[in-house]
Structure 1
């Protein structure tokens, strides 16, 4: 993965993503954030590319880098949580800024087998659980990238 690059001039995190998520890490291209829903281990990758709404708004190098970041984040979630399935999606129907959901799913989770969106009321993290979850995710990412 490329070293962290600064955000594109003028890039800002969409206010809805800022309100619904917590920062986890800055990757080469993307800001990695944790969805504030303790029902699911749910990460969001937001490429720091001004004006990016669709995957095709990224140049080929950006697409390749985002794909590598999705793989890294998926491996970290898999190692940390041992899910039955990983869901990876880019919807953007509610928030137009390009962002990728990577969600660890379990056969006994509250929404299984349905999509997580609209299946249950979000359960915000407690302050203590948030600190623990972010630290565990950062450690898993370090192992997935070989920087731990």
Structure 2
């Protein structure tokens, strides 16, 4: 089974305001008042400043987009997350910006390494955004990130509210 995701996650109202005038952007509701904006090719092209991908270790974080995330975070915490799994093997990366600066991460769990006791990088980032795990689960599933296995499925999700 595969799973891949490259996205910005934040409080729904914050993300709605952020994507309003951003070409190629849309936000999809998650649980617990959060929303997700998938990093599509069109969005990548719209937000990159042409500089090389940063040194944070993300695969698809556009050059210069860290400054945008920092700017958005003045209104509340913002996470950028990436996951890539195939056949149960893969990796996750996550970082969180708040108050205009990166405040956590990036945390990277490489291929073949178990998640730390505190949880997966994405679950830890979601926790910093205020997500709460349900009994027997984690923040990842509590907000509904297990609904789809591929980034593009989020943009076509008729069951999710588009908050643009």
TM-score by length of 2: 0.32
Which is richer in strand? 2
TM-score by length of 1: 0.35
Which is richer in helix? 1
